[in-house]
Amino acid sequence: MGVRAHTSGPAFKRWGAFACLCATLLAEPVSAEESDPFLLHDQNGLSVRAHLQAGLNLVGEQDLFWSLSDIFAPTARYNPDKIWLEGYLKPGLSVRQMLSDHTHLYGKVSGVWSGTVAKDAYDRGDTGRVTLEEAFAGVTIGAGTATSLDLSAGARELKLGTGMLFANGGSSGFERGALKFGPRKAWELTGIATLMLGGVSVKGFYLDPNEVPSNDAKTELAGVDLRYDDPARNFVGLTFATVPESNSAYPQAGPGGLGPPAVTTGAREGLHLVNAYGRTGQLQGGWANWFFSADFAYQWNDRINMEAFGGRAQVAYTFAPAMWTPRLMYTFQSFSGDDPATGGQERFDPLFFEGSPSSWATGSKSAMTFINSNVVAHQVELSIKPTSQDTLFLRYAHIRANELFSPVQFGQATRFQIAGSSNIVTGVTSPHLADDVFLEWSRIINRNTYFTAGVSASFPGKGLELAAGRNLPVWLGAFANLVINY
């Protein structure tokens, strides 16, 4: 569901008014003694609360996609140097009715207005949309007890595990605008049943993603998630899921890696997967400053002779006694690619992963080009906290292809072509793709308002330069954004 919201012409006036709204909301939050203005009603077991999120993001890019468009799409007249402004507004209303001490009814409705002024990285801009975000209702039976049952249906958010495969149920960018922000997270339709038995949860789910109309693959997913959480916030889990319907296509390497890849329409339909995951929370004793996380997924589809693997391992250490509390984390993640020497399909399907640099993105800038398929990355993150409100992150990623002569990029959001980089789908002859460096500053202005700014660079690897047949420029970028969340 969407309503066109053109932003050309008087767009900057509208965005200026939006900026004034954001500035108005920058006031310090109310103290604990004052009433919450977003709590509209709280009497006789009925609570009604308003919600509001808003954001503005200014982005600049130079030599986008390493200026590959000059080589592979010169007639497209793609400009690899861009500056654009994007933003969104997400109002909502939630309701909870207590039928008894342990039985609650609840629901929420929200919408998103998003847009982009000027052309973004994918040459889309001066456009936007108003769409429904959340619209769901549910009931909790046994709330506050060791055993409870929660049932809900409608459009809502759902993230499973660490977000490796199931997180971003909604798509932004392209005709909807707000490419970098990605304010839409809710699945278009869900049916979720969760049984809680102490720290164990068993969740059955049906999901229909809210994809952009110009790239709606009609995907549906269903499965079960089993998870255990302990009081120290450690958790482990196992997800089994299947894709009963989808029009999403897969690329397959040419025989022996020669020639362009074949495209199998509707290849995702019939996909099955198992995803095991675990993460530490607050460890005790001599392990108190350590953090560990591990994920592994196996995918198969007998209909197209598919077998694929993906996973990640993380380890981090916090230098707690040191000034500014430095934290150093190493991440290794790998996703299989299609082997050109076989007749089967080995390409990992990343589905609806959480794609921010702090989550499941492969690199920072490179994540706009390489989805989590046929890539392997070594990533290092250093963070420091100069004040209680400020955090600085320095991230480095070394990105390689798992399989040579095999598709390493199939377009952002699995689109077939992206200006400036579509030729990479044929594969590379050397595994080194890129090295990304990303410096980010995050400041908590108050408990509802956050400011983030960053600069980044992506240095092309030998694989890209051999594909281009020449030296490529460094892809540079910067951004600054303000987000408000009530």
**Cα–Cα distance, 121 to 419 (Å, whole number):** 9
The answer to whether 12 touches 51, Cβ cutoff 8 Å, is no
Helices (H), 25-78: 69-72
Domain 43-485 classification at class level: mainly beta
The answer to whether 37 touches 49, Cβ cutoff 8 Å, is no
Q: For residue 173, is pLDDT > 50? A: yes
**Cα–Cα distance, 447 to 27 (Å, whole number):** 10
Q: For residue 187, is pLDDT > 70? A: yes
pLDDT of residue 191: 98
Q: For residue 421, is pLDDT > 50? A: no
**Cα–Cα distance, 256 to 52 (Å, whole number):** 53
Query: Which of 170, 174, 175 is CA-nearest to residue 185?
Result: 170
**Cα–Cα distance, 188 to 92 (Å, whole number):** 16
pLDDT of residue 14: 47
pLDDT of residue 34: 56
**Cα–Cα distance, 120 to 479 (Å, whole number):** 13
pLDDT of residue 408: 87
Confidence of residue 77 (pLDDT cuts 50, 70, 90): confident
Flag whether the pTM goes above 0.95.
no
pLDDT of residue 411: 52
pLDDT of residue 156: 98
| Structural domain spans, the chain | 43-485
Query: Which of 157, 152, 164 is CA-nearest to residue 133?
Result: 157
**Cα–Cα distance, 466 to 459 (Å, whole number):** 14
pLDDT of residue 264: 87
pLDDT of residue 412: 52
Specify the higher pLDDT residue, 304 or 22: 304
Q: Which of the residue ranges 2-6, 148-152, 164-168, 336-340 would you say has the lowest mean pLDDT?
A: 2-6
pLDDT of residue 409: 76
- CB pairs under 8 A, 24+ apart, for 94-98? 94/48, 94/49, 94/51, 95/46, 95/47, 95/48, 95/49, 96/46, 96/47, 97/45, 97/46, 98/45, 98/46
**Cα–Cα distance, 428 to 303 (Å, whole number):** 28
Identify the H or E element spanning 377: strand 375-384
In percent, the amount of the chain with pLDDT more than 90 equals 77
What single-letter amino acid sits at 451? F
Give, in order, the Cα–Cα distances in Å from 13 to each of 20, 83, 126.
Answer: 11, 18, 13
CA dihedral 220, 226, 230, 232 (to 10 degrees): -30
Confidence of residue 36 (pLDDT cuts 50, 70, 90): confident
Tell me how many degrees the CA angle 98-99-102 measures, rounded to the nearest 5. 75
> Is residue 480 helix, strand or coil?
strand
Specify the higher pLDDT residue, 473 or 425: 473
Confidence of residue 415 (pLDDT cuts 50, 70, 90): very low
**Cα–Cα distance, 224 to 195 (Å, whole number):** 11
Q: Which residues of 440-452 are buried (b: 16+ CB within 10 A; e: fewer)?
A: bebeeeeebbbbb
pLDDT of residue 214: 86
Burial class for 9, CB neighbours closer than 10 Å (0-12, 13-18, 19+): exposed
Give strand pairing partners of 150: 140, 194
What is the 8-class DSSP label of residue 166?
A: B
Identify the H or E element spanning 42: strand 39-43
Q: For residue 17, is pLDDT > 70? A: no
CA dihedral 11, 17, 18, 23 (to 10 degrees): 150
Confidence of residue 316 (pLDDT cuts 50, 70, 90): very high
Task: Tell me the per-residue pLDDT of 257-291, one tens digit each, with 9 for 90 and over.
Answer: 887 888 888 999 999 999 999 999 999 988 999 99
Q: What is the mean pLDDT of the chain?
A: 90
Specify the higher pLDDT residue, 263 or 201: 201
**Cα–Cα distance, 283 to 320 (Å, whole number):** 14
The answer to whether 370 touches 460, Cβ cutoff 8 Å, is no
Confidence of residue 439 (pLDDT cuts 50, 70, 90): very high
Confidence of residue 69 (pLDDT cuts 50, 70, 90): confident
The answer to whether 265 touches 218, Cβ cutoff 8 Å, is no
**Cα–Cα distance, 38 to 94 (Å, whole number):** 10
What single-letter amino acid sits at 395? R
Identify the H or E element spanning 16: helix 11-24
The answer to whether 176 touches 194, Cβ cutoff 8 Å, is no
Confidence of residue 459 (pLDDT cuts 50, 70, 90): very high
pLDDT of residue 201: 97
What single-letter amino acid sits at 227? R
Q: Which of the residue ranges 81-90, 135-144, 353-362, 378-387 would you say has the lowest mean pLDDT?
A: 353-362
Specify the higher pLDDT residue, 64 or 36: 64
Burial class for 41, CB neighbours closer than 10 Å (0-12, 13-18, 19+): exposed
CA dihedral 215, 218, 224, 229 (to 10 degrees): 20
pLDDT of residue 258: 82
Give, in order, the Cα–Cα distances in Å from 220 to each of 55, 162, 169, 188, 223.
Answer: 30, 20, 11, 10, 11
Identify the H or E element spanning 242: strand 235-245
Q: For residue 5, is pLDDT > 60? A: no
Q: Which of the residue ranges 119-123, 244-248, 255-259, 446-450 would you say has the lowest mean pLDDT?
A: 255-259
